[in-house]
Amino acid sequence: MNSAVEELGTLARAIVDEQREEERRLSVLLEKQSLRIRRAEGLTWSPVIIENQSFTFGGRIKLMVKKGQGGGIDDAFRSGSPVHFYQANEAGLPKDQKNVRRGIVRKVRAGNAEVILDGEPLDSVQMYERWTIDERADDRTYRLMAEALSYWINTEDRVKLVLRNGLMGFGTRPKRIKVKEISHPSLNTGQCNWISLAETAQALAILHGPPGTGKTTTLLAFVKRAVERGERLLLSAPSNAAVDLLVKGCVRQKTTPVRIGHPVRLDADVLEYGLDAHVEKDPEVKQIKDMRKRAEKAWKKANTYHRNF
């Protein structure tokens, strides 16, 4: 490779190819195989019966569903699995592609599942229909990776260009930075030196070392100092578990975080710091909750008429 842009472009094309192949393989399994085989392979639950519908964080729709007899294997899905939710024809495929709903499985236990559904609530008639749940490819991950690569390929910001080229091995060696001495009651000299370096560096400050050497503690101390100066920071990590760990650390040192991400993928201990939870603290949300309660009462009343009919 002759440049960082060329290397990132190669990665972007590889991501597109990988996504297409994953979607193709799953599509072949779902469309070419019979419903019986899809159930046996752990790709499908069908029929699925809706037991309850309610609102959850951010006004999303929560469905409590139960797998019907012979509807598939109990552990076909796991927490966080992206799924399609639809009514099937005799071949076990969607009756109408326009009506296929997307969702994420929140909990699964013994043939029962909690699904967070995108879009509008189901009406009273749909509540008594039989449904099918299929595994689906998680296109969101690929989309975010592609957007990130596109950003770094096209950036014109001088500092970010230095960072990009340096990380990709195409940059010039940076000049040594003079750092000022700082002290911290719970950090050693090396940790204090890194914080000083991070506060002085324009683009990048790397902190590395074996497990248990205080890297997370040092990072959290840096965050606290930055917040006390009135700065706003974005913390990211390679996994949801790692981000949740940082959130818990911020809470311990009384630095109020906003955890961004789908509530399904958040640890129970950090749910109250999620974006949806912060939104629900807004005074106007009380009116929305009242409307939801009235909507739920209306659903129950409509369901009573449906059953009597």
User: pTM of this prediction?
Assistant: 0.64
Q: Is 170 exposed, middle or buried (0-12, 13-18, 19+ CB in 10 A)?
A: middle
CB atoms inside a 10 Å sphere around CB 276: 18
Phi, psi angle pair for 301, to nearest 5°? -65, -45
CA angle 193, 194, 195 (to 5 degrees): 95
Q: 294 near 284, Cβ under 8 Å?
A: no
- What is the radius of gyration, based on Cα positions, of the chain? 25
Q: In the structure encoding, which two tokens stand for residue 35, read together? A: 């419903």
Nearest to 95 by CA among 131, 63, 145: 131
**Polymer length in residues for the chain:** 309
CA angle 124, 134, 238 (to 5 degrees): 115
Coil, strand or helix at 38: helix
Q: Which domains does the chain have, with CATH numbers?
A: 4-140 (2.40.30.270), 158-280 (3.40.50.300)
In our burial notation (b when 16+ CB lie closer than 10 A, e otherwise), range 146-166 reads beebeebbeeeeeeeebbbeb
Write out the chain's pLDDT in tens, 309 residues: 689 999 999 999 999 999 999 888 888 878 788 888 889 888 899 999 999 888 887 678 899 999 988 899 988 898 888 999 999 888 778 888 888 999 999 889 888 999 999 888 888 788 888 899 998 887 888 999 999 999 999 999 988 898 899 888 887 776 777 778 888 888 999 999 999 999 988 778 889 989 889 999 999 999 999 999 999 999 999 999 999 999 999 999 999 899 998 887 888 898 889 888 887 777 777 777 777 777 777 766 776 665 554
